[in-house]
Amino acid sequence: MFVEPRLGGREKSGWIEVICGCMFSGKTEELIRRLNRALIAKQKVEIFKPAIDKRYHEEKIVSHSDREIRSTPVNFANDILLLSGDCDVVGIDEAQFFDEAIVEVCNTLANQGKRVIVAGLDMDYKGKPFGPMPFLLSIAEFVTKVHAICAQTGELASFSFRLKENKSQVMLGEKDAYEARSRRAFVEGMKQSQIEDQN
């Protein structure tokens, strides 16, 4: 369980928290939980998501279990700097869909004394590091990796297996398009996909 750090000293200290994992692992759920706690503490909170992600709602961040929180959709990472103002906490969902500038944006916000909470997929459907996420993991003071349950084996899952034929790294989808899988089930599925591609 993640424990929020206490602010120390007279100067307001900023930091970066990254919540990562595969599809259906509860990343957004954990992001919403932390942001709601900040709101209860009467902190000023600004929340952002990529404008391309309209799966559940045009503006709100919504978890797979239907928990939701207001957010501002943005097209570019640098928009977050312009819109975050004098807030205490910045929440960012689906960080893997942002351009590389998101890394410098998070650093700048943390250097301004803000608490920055970022959620995103750490790996794409091939099991490779996804977009800016490895860089965000490197600069974060706190990293939480959450896991799903494998749809094939019932074991802990860290991989997002794509069920539909599509070679694009970015493909928005839900349970009709992706399955959470354990390492063993993911590797077996990838081997089967390669065999099918060759036939």
On whether residue 83 sits in a domain, the answer given is: yes
> Band of the pLDDT at 3, cuts 50, 70, 90?
low
Q: Which of 30, 94, 141, 165 is an active site residue? A: 94
> Band of the pLDDT at 12, cuts 50, 70, 90?
confident
In the chain, the number of structural domains is 1
Given a cut of 60, is residue 9 above it in pLDDT? no
On whether residue 26 sits in a domain, the answer given is: yes
Mean model confidence pLDDT for the chain? 87
**Strand, helix or coil for residue 18:** strand
**Strand, helix or coil for residue 119:** strand
pLDDT, tens digit, 9 for 90 and up, residues 35-63 = 999 999 999 999 999 988 655 545 566 66
On whether residue 47 sits in a domain, the answer given is: yes
Residues 6+ apart with CB under 8 A from 123: 22, 129, 130, 158, 159, 160
Partners of residue 148 on adjacent β-strands = 157
Given a cut of 50, is residue 68 above it in pLDDT? yes
For residue 59, what is the domain's CATH number? 3.40.50.300
On whether residue 32 sits in a domain, the answer given is: yes
On whether residue 10 sits in a domain, the answer given is: no
pLDDT, tens digit, 9 for 90 and up, residues 79-126 = 999 999 999 999 999 999 999 999 999 999 999 999 999 999 999 999
On whether residue 41 sits in a domain, the answer given is: yes
Residues 6+ apart with CB under 8 A from 185: 150, 151, 152, 153, 155, 157, 159, 161
Question: Which pLDDT belongs to residue 165?
Answer: 75
Gap between the Cα atoms of 162 and 140, Å rounded: 28
On whether residue 186 sits in a domain, the answer given is: no
On whether residue 195 sits in a domain, the answer given is: no
Q: Is 68 a catalytic residue?
A: no
Domain that holds residue 24: 15-146
